[in-house]
Amino acid sequence: MYSFIPRAAPIHRDVTVQTSNGCQYRVKSELANQMVAIRCLLAKSADISVIPLEDIDSETFELVLKWCRTVRDSKVTLNEHSARTMFKKLVQESIDDRIMIYKLILAANFLDIESLWGATTQHLSDEINECKSVQDMNKIFNVK
Amino acid sequence: MSMLAYAESATSSSSDTEPDAQVDFTTMLVQRQRGCESGSKLHTTDADQEQQEQDQGYYLEQYVLGVLDFSSQYGIDYSISYTASNVIGRPTKFPAYGDYPETFTMRTYGDWWQRAPSATRDIQPQNMPPIDTHDYIVVYFEEFVVPTEVAIFETFNPGAVVRIWAYSMTKHWHCLWEATAKDLNYLCHDSRRFAPPLKKTSIITKTLRIEFNHSNLNYYTEIDAIMLCGRTVSHRRIQNLLGKARAHSQTQISLAASALGSSSTALAVGHGPISCKLRSLKFQPICRSDNNADADPVTGACKKFINDFINNDLSQFLLDNRLANEMVEQQQQQQLQEMQLTPANVHAQAAARRICLTDLPFEILLKILSYLDLQSLFRVGQVSRIFYDISTHPLLYVEINLKPYWQLANSELLCTLARRATILRKLDLSWCGGFGDVSPTEFKKFLTQRGDNLTHLRLNSCKFLNASCIETVGIVCDNLNELSLRNCATDPPLLNFSCLVNLKNLERLDLFQTAFETELLLSMLEGNRKLKHLNLAFCGVSVNMDNVAAHLANYNTQLVSLDMWKAHFLTARGLQSLSHCHQLEELDLGWCLREASLGDGLYQLLVNCPKLRKLFLSAVRGTTEHDLRHIAQLGKNLEQLDLMGILNITHERVYDILIHCPKLQLLDLSFCENIMDRDFDILADWSRLFKVNIKSSRIYDPR
C-alpha cells in the first residue's frame, strides 16, 4: 500500500507555501518530498517562489507538517499497522473534533501524501466499524 | 452407535461409565418407537413416570454416528489411519496421549504451509475474523437433543478447536462456542477432554460442526471422539417442529440475508426479480416523528426538518459547543422556539456550521469504505441514501469472499451481490451452500453474469456444485489464473470429459481431495503451459501419476509447486519426469512411491531443481542412505524437509543434513525407527544449535 512511486524528481530546496488564510510556511525539503503534489508542481515549473494552497488552512497545514515530521523521524518501517498507531497518537495529541480529520483527509488528498491519506481513511473506517447501529452512525458522523 | 442414557429421575451415579453399560442402540430405538415401556433405559421406571419423561426428555450423552463432511484429513479415504471416520463412536485411545493412527488428523499444522512457496493470499482479507478457521468437520449423531455440552477428546497436541456450531431443526447454524485468543495458547502436552462452556440455547440439533485453527500448533492435532450431551426431545415434539420448519423455510431464507445486514429487510416470500429489486431499493432512514408528535405543535413539512434536526444534528451540535447536560433542556426549549419561527433556516444553519462525513469527495468515501468487511459494508448501506449509493459501488466488490460467512451465504445473497459486482475479479465461495442454501442455478446465473473477468475462483468444499456448474466455469471464466476446487470428491467425478479445457491461462490449480477424470487433467496440463502451482493430493488412486508427471515434464516446465500426497502408485519413472521441471521450489511426495525403489530419481531431482525449498518425503520407504547424502549435498535452499517414517535415517545423516542445509527451518523425523531413543536428546540440542524445528513424535505405529 505504501510503495512510493515517485512521479517527479525529489526536491532539494526548501519551499514556501501559503495557506488559504494568508499564512506562509517555509517547508523543509525532506518534508516537502512527502507531498507528491508539490513535487509534481515544481517539476513542471521550477521557479515558483510561493506555492498557494487554496483549500487548506493554517491549522490543518500545521497538522500535516506534524504528520510528515513523525513519518520522517520514525525508525519503524511504514506499514499499515505502524501508520495506524502513529495516527492514533496524533489524534490523541492534537485533534479535538472530527471535522479536523475531514480537513486532514482533504489536505492529504490535495497534497497527495499517501501515508497520511491511508492513515486517515483507515482511522475513519475503524470508527465506522465501531458503530453498533445506524443511530450511532448518524450521531457520530452527523449524517443527515 | 454407543450411547449412555440417564433417566431424569435417577440419582447420578458413575456406574454407567463401565463398558457393560453399553446398550444395543437399534433395539432401544425400535422399542421406544413402539412405545415400549421396559428395557429401554438403564433404570427402568413405571408407566406414568416414563410418559412424563418422554414429554420432558432425558439427559443423553452420545458419540458421533457419522461424518457428513470435512475439509481435510491426513489419511486417504479407503484407509483407517488418520482419517475423519475415526472420530465415529467411542474414543479408542483417550486418555492416552500420543500420535495414534486411530484418530482424526487434519492435513496441516502450524504456519508451515503459509511459509511454503505454494501459499495463497486470502481474497478480501478484511472479511476474515481475528481467529479464522483453517479446517472443519461436520458430524451427526443419533438423537436430537437440546445441547448442553459438547466434549471433544483430543489425544495429541490439543488446543486447535476454535468454534462449535450446531445445526438446528429450523435449518440454521448456531454458534455454540467461539474461542478467544487465550484459548489458542493452550500449551499443555497431555490428552484433554475439551468441553467449553456453550451458549445457553433451546435449539434442537443432532448435527455439529467443529472448526479448527492450527496456527499455534507444534505438530498435528488429533481428535479421538466427539460427544454431544443434552436433553432429548419427545418424538411428538420433533414431528411438530419439522412441520413448522417446512412451513417457515421460505421466510428463513430471507432472514439469512437480513442477518447479513443487507437492505432486504422484508420478510416477504417473493423470489422473483421484481421483488428482489424492490427489496434492494428499500432502506430505512431513522425518523422518529411519531414520538415527538406531541412535543411540538408545528405541523406540516416543518415537522420533518425539526425532527431531523432534533434527532440527528442537535446532540452533535450541543456536543460541539460543549454544553453541559443540565443546559441541554434549556437549549432545546430555546431552539424549539426559534425553529418554530424559521424552520427553513434550521437545515441551512446546521449545514453551514459543520462538514459531515458525506461532504467528503466520493473517492475518499470509497477509500474509507474499502477497508470494511462485507457485513459492515451492508450495514453502512442502511444509514442513508448517500451511503447506500457509495456502499453499492462496484469498486468495492472487485473481490468477494463469502467463506467467513458460510452459514449465511444463500442464493439471495448471490443475487444481491450480482447486482453490485460488475467488475468482479476474485471470488471465494468456499464452504458455502451446504444443505441446499445455494442453488446451482443461482450460482450459474451469477457466474454467467459476472464471471467473465474472474481471475481467481475458489470453490472449496462447495456442496452445491454439479457437473453443469463446472461446465459453466469452463465456458464463462476463461481468464482464470487460479482455480481451486478442493474437496469435491463426488462419484461420478464432477470434473469430467472436457468441461474445463477452455481454460488456458491457469497458473494455479488446486484439486486437493477431488475426483476427476484423468483425460481431463492431462488435457488441462497441455493447455495451461504457464501452470505454476498444482495440488493433486489424494488424487493418486484413480489417476496414473506417472502419466501426469510425464505430461508435466513436457508441457508444464514452469511448475513451482507440486503436491502429490498419497500418490501410492507413482514410480521411479514418474520421479524422473519431475526432474524436468527446473523451477520446482516445492514438492510433496508424502506416501508416494510405495511400490518401488527410487533409483536415482531423487538424485536427478535434486541436481536439476536447485531452487527446491520444500521437500516432503513422508513415508517414502525407498529412500536410501545415498539419497540422504544427496539431500545434504544438493539441498542448499531447503527450508522444510519431512523425512517421517524413513527407516534408513541415522543420527549421523541428520547431522549431515543440518550442517549442509543452512536455510533449513523444519525437519520432521517422526517415526524414524533407526534413530534410537537416546539420540533424541542430542536431536534436541542440535535443534537449538542449528535453529531448526525438529519434529520427532515416536509412539510406535504399525502402519
pLDDT in tens, B329-372: 555 555 555 544 444 444 444 434 466 777 888 888 999 999 99
Q: With contacts defined as CB-CB under 8 Å, which chain A residues touch B313?
A: 142, 144
The C-alpha cell of B84 is what? Answer: 475423519
Region B60-79: mean pLDDT is 92
Rounded Cα distance between B543 and B574, Å, is 13
The overall pTM is greater than 0.95: no
Mark out the alpha helices in B271-324 (DSSP H runs).
Answer: 273-281, 301-308, 315-320
Q: How close does chain B come to A58, measured CA to CA in Å?
A: 18
pLDDT of residue B616: 95
* Residues B409 and B370 reside in one and the same domain: no
Is B576 in contact with B596 (CB distance < 8 Å)? no
- The residues, ordered by sequence, that sit 6+ positions from B351 with a Cβ below 8 Å of its Cβ are none
Q: Is the pLDDT of residue B288 over 70?
A: no
Which residue of A105, A138, A144 is in closest CB contact with B360? A105
The reply to whether B38 touches chain A by the CB within 8 Å rule is no
Q: Is the pLDDT of residue B253 over 70?
A: no
Rounded Cα distance between B390 and A55, Å, is 24
For domain A15-140, the CATH class is: alpha beta
Query: pLDDT band for position B676 (50/70/90)?
Result: confident
Q: Is the sign of the CA dihedral A32, A33, A36, A42 positive or negative?
A: positive
Residues 352-371 (B) with a CB less than 8 A from some CB of A: 354-361, 363-364, 367-371
B350 assigned to some structural domain: no
* Residues B76 and B156 reside in one and the same domain: yes
* Residues B77 and B187 reside in one and the same domain: yes
pLDDT digit string (tens) for B163-211? 999 999 888 999 999 999 888 888 788 899 999 999 999 899 999 999 9
> Last residue of a domain, which of B458, B490, B505?
B505
3-state SS assignment for residue B89:
coil
In this complex, how many residue pairs, one in chain A and one in chain B, have their CB atoms less than 8 Å apart?
77
Pairing of strands B508-510, B482-484: parallel
Q: What residues does B192 pair with on adjacent strands?
A: B154
> Last residue of a domain, which of B489, B505, B521?
B505
The DSSP secondary-structure symbol of B298 reads -
3-state SS assignment for residue B112:
coil
Q: How close does chain B come to A12, measured CA to CA in Å?
A: 31
Interface probe with A: pick from B383, B385, B386, B389, most Cβ of A within 10 Å: B383
> Which domain CATH number covers B143?
2.60.120.260
Residue range of the domain that includes B125: 59-237
Please calculate the CA angle B88-B92-B97 and round it to the nearest 5 degrees.
Answer: 120
Torsion of CA B473, B474, B478, B479, to 10 degrees: 50
> Last residue of a domain, which of B237, B254, B288?
B237
pLDDT of residue B306: 62
pLDDT digit string (tens) for B457-488? 999 999 999 888 999 999 999 999 999 999 98
* Residues B367 and B496 reside in one and the same domain: no
* Residues B143 and B66 reside in one and the same domain: yes
Rounded Cα distance between B538 and B79, Å, is 12
Other C-beta atoms closer than 10 Å to the C-beta of B65 total: 18
ipTM of model: 0.87
Number of domains in chain B: 3
The string of DSSP letters for B207-276 reads EEEEEE--TT-SS--EEEEEEEEEEE--HHHHHHHHHHHHHHHHHHHHHHHHHTT-S--------SHHHH
- Higher-scoring residue by pLDDT: B384, B679: B384
Q: How close does chain B come to A93, measured CA to CA in Å?
A: 18
Q: How close does chain B come to A47, measured CA to CA in Å?
A: 31
Q: A106 and B364 in contact by Cβ < 8 A?
A: yes
Burial (Cβ within 10 Å: 0-12, 13-18, ≥19) of residue B654: buried
Is B526 in contact with B556 (CB distance < 8 Å)? no
B106 assigned to some structural domain: yes
B391 assigned to some structural domain: yes
B491 assigned to some structural domain: yes
Q: B354 and A99 in contact by Cβ < 8 A?
A: yes
What DSSP element (H or E) covers A15? strand A15-18
Range with the lowest mean pLDDT among B32-36, B119-123, B127-131, B506-510? B32-36
Q: Is the pLDDT of residue B266 over 70?
A: no
State the residue for C-alpha cell 493418486: B540
- Where along chain A do its domains lie? 15-140
